Structure 1
Amino acid sequence: MLYVITGPPAAGKSSWIQSHATDRDIVIDLDRITVALTGPGAPQWNHDPLHQRVAQRARYAAIDEACLHLDKLDVYLIHTMPSPKALAKYKRLGARIVVVDPGRDIVMQRIEAMRSTEMERVATRWYNARKARPRDAMPQASRSW
């Protein structure tokens, strides 16, 4: 099964996966990939743009390969703002779309405490896009599982 976990930055997507995935599952998380590809002491968030670019290429390869094995394992994919094209692909694959959103106020507090100001813009874009799009997935608070 493919689980696509969406939500604004700092919503709790990684925490949701931590509470649902097992050691037999594949987790595709750009932050984790970037940390894995950078040297000791690299930040957990707020990555260098060049590091992110390399990690993004690795992420695409991981998604393609993991989707070949959905009959044998579960795949948890973090995709903050999937495009309509990506959503169509995920739906063709029978994905369960999970929206993790504890609310704009909480997200903005977390971003202020832990992330770069660029993430405020990403969160604002996420919320604006969410208002414009019909809700096709069930929202999930970040810690109510």
Structure 2
Amino acid sequence: MKKTDVDFMLTLANLMSKLEQGESCAEQLQEIAKMSDENKESITHQLMDRIASREELMYVDAVLAIGYLDADYVQDFAQAMSAKQTDVSQKQELVRKVLSRTTPYAKTMMEDVFWKNLTMAAINMKDNELLAQFIRKVEQLRDSAEE
């Protein structure tokens, strides 16, 4: 096994441990900044998966610090994951914010999870006009999506 592989595993394990314990992970984030895009993607995916599955936002700052994904997307993703625990006005605010974006997110991952959660927020926000706008946006996504 290569030393770089071991370094990757140690950095990832230490990052997760420190995040779980609420400790500073600045040292690990500095190490990740020096890694290849492939390793950054792998670590980012692990963190995004935890945001999605646990709806725990403690991982958001680490994802933003790594800088592999579009920062706006990371924030919107985190809000969409926790949207079911918000009130109607917060759901409406999130949907409006996403609909108002004029430029596509630069780099994303787990878009299917993001859009499914955002769809549930849109359905439950009790605003038929805004829901209609959301439906048009999803239709645009469908039309531009790859088969």
What TM-score does the superposition give when structure 1 sets the normalisation length?
Answer: 0.29
Greater Rg over alpha carbons, structure = 2
Q: Which gives a bigger RCO, structure 1 or 2 (Cα 8 Å, sep 6+)?
A: 1
Q: Which has the larger helix fraction? A: 2
What TM-score does the superposition give when structure 2 sets the normalisation length?
Answer: 0.29
